[in-house]
Amino acid sequence: MTADVFPWDQFGLAVIAGCLIVFVLAALKRQWTIWAMLAGLANLPFAFMNAAAPFRGALDPEYVGYGMGMVRAAPGAEVAAFAGFMLVGGLASALIAVLNQPGARNYLIVGFNSVVLLITTPSLLDSAANGFRGVRVEFGEYLQFAGFSAFAFEFALITLPVIYSLMWAWGRASKS
């Protein structure tokens, strides 16, 4: 079986399931508050959205590349590195938040959320100024949408939760 015919959608679902199991196991420790859980849930989608891309980027020479906000990664090592950063950063931030411990580890969430805002916010502001043209959300080849619905999706499900998570983590980090 070659990388271009590998069932990447099923592989991605398996990675998502693994991330979800790890998150639930951390949540079962019951150290979280509702605010910590919200911060964790704000970061978990980044792991989910990048479940298969790092692996496919590294193994499939026919992979088209990757884009998120202002970042465009060429096929191969660039996709693997950037999507891998998003997968690991999203899951690590979600776990740190749900474990709800004060201290310096929360700066990882602050850093990750800052990177997400730096790469997504300029393109959202630009697309809003241009009548929502150029905003496109793609989850593989099968689920894609554009325009105002893509803008609303990105703003409500990415930007606002990330701003909340960054502010929450900053407060937890300063309580060391």
Q: Please determine, for residue 132, whether its predicted confidence score (pLDDT) is greater than 80.
A: yes
Rounded mean pLDDT of the chain?
Answer: 91
pLDDT band at 176 (very low <50, low <70, confident <90, very high): low
Percent of the chain with pLDDT over 90: 62
Q: Please determine, for residue 142, whether its predicted confidence score (pLDDT) is greater than 80.
A: no
Averaged over 46-65, what is the pLDDT?
Answer: 90
Q: Is 30 helix (H, G, I), strand (E, B) or coil?
A: coil
pLDDT at residue 144, rounded to an integer: 84
Contact 97, 109 (CB under 8 A): yes
What percent of the chain is helix, strand and coil (3-state, nearest 5)? 65, 10, 25
pLDDT band at 1 (very low <50, low <70, confident <90, very high): low
pTM reported for the whole predicted model: 0.87
Q: Is 21 helix (H, G, I), strand (E, B) or coil?
A: helix
Number of CB atoms found within 10 A of residue 160's CB: 12
pLDDT band at 63 (very low <50, low <70, confident <90, very high): confident
